[in-house]
């Protein structure tokens, strides 16, 4: 199944049914009076988080969704049937944004959580509603109101406790295969990972956490190089980042420079995400001579002036992965315990995640606008070329078929 983490759709709530204009007509019943019933309410449009849905691919092919209209009222004071609500299932972790106002309507982070995104129209009133002692034969009715219409943009951010950062081919997918049952593709060339992968790491019975592996970043990713920053938004829900670095790169590059390049891209993408807790994981240590491992590791730590935790592993042979998993579990449990003791910390954490998501959204919009401007400038340049007069230039213009 194709992984799609963004989709834009248009939703239209149902219109309310019109009120009826009717009078009682029965044999031997004189002056029966008004009996026009009200219309039915229009159906509303809801979005609901569902664990069984893990991609938005269906919303790429169908872009318009409409709820049912309410039926009109009838005589004999019969009320029209209300329109059925329309519920659209989306993956857990979906953020809903009004594409016209850029307002964040909601964040569906739990299974079964739902939000109304378009209100159905209110029912119209029949002429029975307008009868009075002075108006015994009203011919006045009220039509149903129109349902709300909205253009929505839905963004999926995977729910994970730990996120993996690093250059392509640093060993992120190998690490997630070593610590969980996930089986992402692993190969000896950059950009093997093209979509995010999730793995559940089980430390002990009833003690586990989720790791997110995203495609690798390269220098210039915040300007659209490589796969760009499209998938970095999936790390905005994580509590901890693991920065995995290849200690034996095939091109002989400096591991410290590789780490610094990713840190720079991370800061440009989201300053708040850049301040998230990060642990340095030195991978592929088994490819270094045993007597040089400690020295090479210390050189990287000193070059970066790294103050946080540092781990040395060989993911392919699972060397050193158990200690880091145990420490991650302890860290996450400590964070959860602190939030239970102090509810203000939970509120602060929610605000931090909201700020990260807003920064990521703005950065992605800036990049999209820059690309659009570049395409427009390129097209304008092509249009200007069409207006050139070849006689003004001392060159021969050759048009190849």
Residue 254 covered by a domain: yes
Residue 304 covered by a domain: yes
Q: Are residues 182 and 150 in the same domain?
A: no
Q: Are residues 195 and 321 in the same domain?
A: yes
Q: Are residues 196 and 291 in the same domain?
A: yes
Which pLDDT score, from 0 to 100, does residue 382 have? 65
Burial of 57 (0-12, 13-18, 19+ CB in 10 A): middle
Backbone angles phi, psi at 259, to 5 degrees: -65, -45
Q: Are residues 175 and 137 in the same domain?
A: no
Residue 396 covered by a domain: no
Residue 264 covered by a domain: yes
Which pLDDT score, from 0 to 100, does residue 58 have? 85
Alpha-carbon distance 170 to 118, whole Å? 45
Which pLDDT score, from 0 to 100, does residue 181 have? 84
Which pLDDT score, from 0 to 100, does residue 214 have? 84
Residue 31 belongs to domain with CATH number: 2.70.210.12
Which pLDDT score, from 0 to 100, does residue 124 have? 95
Q: Are residues 142 and 169 in the same domain?
A: no
Chosen domain end from 156, 182, 209: 156
Which pLDDT score, from 0 to 100, does residue 384 have? 60
Domain range for 82 is: 1-156
Residue 324 covered by a domain: yes
Which pLDDT score, from 0 to 100, does residue 222 have? 65
Residue 291 covered by a domain: yes
Which pLDDT score, from 0 to 100, does residue 225 have? 66
The neighbouring-strand residues paired with 162 are 211, 240
Binding site per annotation, positions for Mg(2+): 173, 193
Q: Which tens digit of pLDDT belongs to each residue from 26-48?
A: 888 777 889 999 999 999 999 99
Q: How many domains does the chain have?
A: 2
Which pLDDT score, from 0 to 100, does residue 366 have? 81
Q: Which tens digit of pLDDT belongs to each residue from 45-79?
A: 999 999 888 788 889 889 999 999 999 999 989 99
Q: Are residues 300 and 173 in the same domain?
A: yes
Q: Are residues 110 and 259 in the same domain?
A: no
Which pLDDT score, from 0 to 100, does residue 395 have? 34
Q: Are residues 111 and 214 in the same domain?
A: no
Which pLDDT score, from 0 to 100, does residue 386 have? 53
Q: Are residues 9 and 93 in the same domain?
A: yes
Length of the chain: 401
Binding site per annotation, positions for GTP: 166-173, 191-195, 213-216, 283-286, 314-316
> Which parts of the chain have pLDDT scores under 50?
1, 388-401
Binding site per annotation, positions: 166-173, 191-195, 213-216, 283-286, 314-316
């Amino acid at each position: 199944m194709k992984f799609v983490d963004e989709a834009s759709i248009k939703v239209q709530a149902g219109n309310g049914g019109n009120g009826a204009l009717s009078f009682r007509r029965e044999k031997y019943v004189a002056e029966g009076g008004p009996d026009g019933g009200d219309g039915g309410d229009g159906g509303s449009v809801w979005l609901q988080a569902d664990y069984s849905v893990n991609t938005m691919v269906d919303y790429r092919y169908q872009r318009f969704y409409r709820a049912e209209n309410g039926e009109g009222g009838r005589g004999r004071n019969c009320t029209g049937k209300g329109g059925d609500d329309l519920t659209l299932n989306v993956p857990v972790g979906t953020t809903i944004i009004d594409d016209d106002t850029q307002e964040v309507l909601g964040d569906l982070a739990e299974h079964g959580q739902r939000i109304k995104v378009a209100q159905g129209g209110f029912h119209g009133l029949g002429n029975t509603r307008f009868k009075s002692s002075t108006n015994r034969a009203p011919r006045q009715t009220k039509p149903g109101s129109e349902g709300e219409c909205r253009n929505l943009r839905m963004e999926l951010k995977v729910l994970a406790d730990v996120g993996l950062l690093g250059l392509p081919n640093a060993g992120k997918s190998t690490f997630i295969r070593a610590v969980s049952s996930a089986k992402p593709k692993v190969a000896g060339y950059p950009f093997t990972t093209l979509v995010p992968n999730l793995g559940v790491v089980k430390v002990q019975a009833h003690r586990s956490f989720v790791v997110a592996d995203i495609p690798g970043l390269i220098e210039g990713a915040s300007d659209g190089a490589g796969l760009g920053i499209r998938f970095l938004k999936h790390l905005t829900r994580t509590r901890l980042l693991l920065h995995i670095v290849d200690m034996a790169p095939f091109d002989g590059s400096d591991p410290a420079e590789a780490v610094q390049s990713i840190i720079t891209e991370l800061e440009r993408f989201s300053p708040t995400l850049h301040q998230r807790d990060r642990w340095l994981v030195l991978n592929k240590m088994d490819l270094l001579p045993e007597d040089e491992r400690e020295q090479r590791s210390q050189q990287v730590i000193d070059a970066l002036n790294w103050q946080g935790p540092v781990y040395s592993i060989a993911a392919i042979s699972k060397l050193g992965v158990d200690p880091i998993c145990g420490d991650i579990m302890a860290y996450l449990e400590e964070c959860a315990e602190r939030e239970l003791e102090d509810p203000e910390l939970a509120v602060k954490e929610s605000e931090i995640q909201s700020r990260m998501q807003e920064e990521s959204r703005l950065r992605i919009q800036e990049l999209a606008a820059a690309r659009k401007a570049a395409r427009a400038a390129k097209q304008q340049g092509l249009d200007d070329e069409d207006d050139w007069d070849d006689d003004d230039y001392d060159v021969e213009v050759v048009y190849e078929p």
